[in-house]
Each structure stands twice: as C-alpha cells, then as structure tokens.
Amino acid sequence: MAKAIRGKDGGDIRVSMSCLAEFVTSYGRSPESRLRPFKFNKRGEGFARSSYYQYALRTIRAYHSGGNNPSILDRDLLEMRTRADKAVESWQRIKFERNASAVVAYRRIYGNRKFRILPNRRLQYRIGGIVVTAQPDLWAEEQKTQVLLKIGMAKHNVSYVDMLLSLLRKAAVSSGHKIRARNIVYLNVSNGKELVCSGGLTRFNRTFAAAAKEIANVWPQITTTPPPSAGPSEARA
C-alpha cells in the first residue's frame, strides 16, 4: 500500500472522489485551477451534492422508513413544487424543481424496492501517495444486499460518472465493505436514468495512479488565490 504524502500541516493529502474524477476528465485548465476549489473546500466529501438534494434524500428516507407509503412521496412532491412556485430567487426555484425531479426519477426506478436505509459511512482508500475520500448519498440494504446510490445532474461526460462510481466502489471495498459493481449506481436527475458501475476493481487503476501522483506534486503549491500571472481561465476557477 502506498504511503500517503504529507501536506504542509503534517497531515495526509486528502482529495474527494469527485475531485479525482473531475481532475482526470476536465481539460483546458491548469492542474492548480482544477484542484483549488477542492483544496479549500472545508465542508467535506459529498457536502455540496447531499446538501443540494437534501429535500429529495429526506423524502426518500422517509418513504422507505414508512413502509414505502406512496402518500409520503405525494406529500413531499407537492411541498417541493409549491416552494418552487413561490421562490423569489431563480436558484431557489431550480433547486426545488431538481429535488422534485430526483424524487420522481427515484420513484420510477426504485419505488417498488424494499430498501432498508442504513447509516451513511465515510469511506477512503490510498492511491499513488494520496488518500481518496468517498461517500454515497444513500446507503441502503435489500435482502442482505447493500446498495450505494449517488444523485446528480451528470453535467460531465459519461466517463466522469463511470470513474466516480468506480472510485466509490474501490473506497467501499478498501474500507471493508464487499459491494458488487451492479449495486453502486448513479441516478441522473436530468434524464431520470440509472447509471451502474461497470468493470472490475482494477479498472482505471493506471489512470488514477498517474493522476494521484500529479495531484500530490501540485497540491502543496496551490494557494487560496491564483498568482498574478494566472490567465483568465484559472482566475475563474
């Protein structure tokens, strides 16, 4: 197992799985500009996504905890759509609309599943000298089979989601959870489709190792603001 490189404060260099997946699949910007938002995000892995879909996730948990009672979904969907209609700011309206879309997509694909919602877990594994952290949006169990779910808009290309799911599975297995690839899924709110983790545990290993090495080399030099000579694209990061 690779030894993690230490940061300036003496701690391991830790990056989220979304950071590593985005670093590998994004182009046209310097490594520093791609990594800066992740280095100085102090809210933890998955915070932005889980916070954004907090209404949908709360509804889904209540639905399964309530014995798959459809009235729970109907009630919360009505509330989200009402709040979207009454929203003053456009970002608030869009957030409630997307949460409602997530619930509708979930209902269509997983509505009949007898999931038991489990406590979420923070996962991690070491690769190429860094620690990669991971966390699903929803951790469930059905007939003693565990399922990890991510929810998002999938704005990135398919390879990004593919890598995200692969990283989640690698972190789960590394943390002692034996979860099959087909049970690690991404719910794309933009089209209501399910994307399933594919391939074996060694998939993307070389790609991730190379990216991790580059991140470890660049990470200590990244500051909170771009240097004066940075181009426009870096300044917008």
Indicate the domain borders of the chain: 1-223
Single pTM value for the model: 0.82
**Cα separation of 166 and 160, whole Å?**
10
Predicted local distance difference test score (pLDDT) of residue 39: 84
pLDDT along the chain (237 residues), means of 10: 43 87 86 86 52 92 95 97 96 95 94 93 90 94 94 76 94 93 91 88 93 92 65 30
| Geometric angle at alpha carbon 91, from 85 and 94, rounded to 5° | 55
Predicted local distance difference test score (pLDDT) of residue 229: 45
Q: Give the CA count within 13 Å in the CB-facing half-sphere of 23.
A: 28
pLDDT tens-digit readout, 114-130: 999 999 999 999 997 89
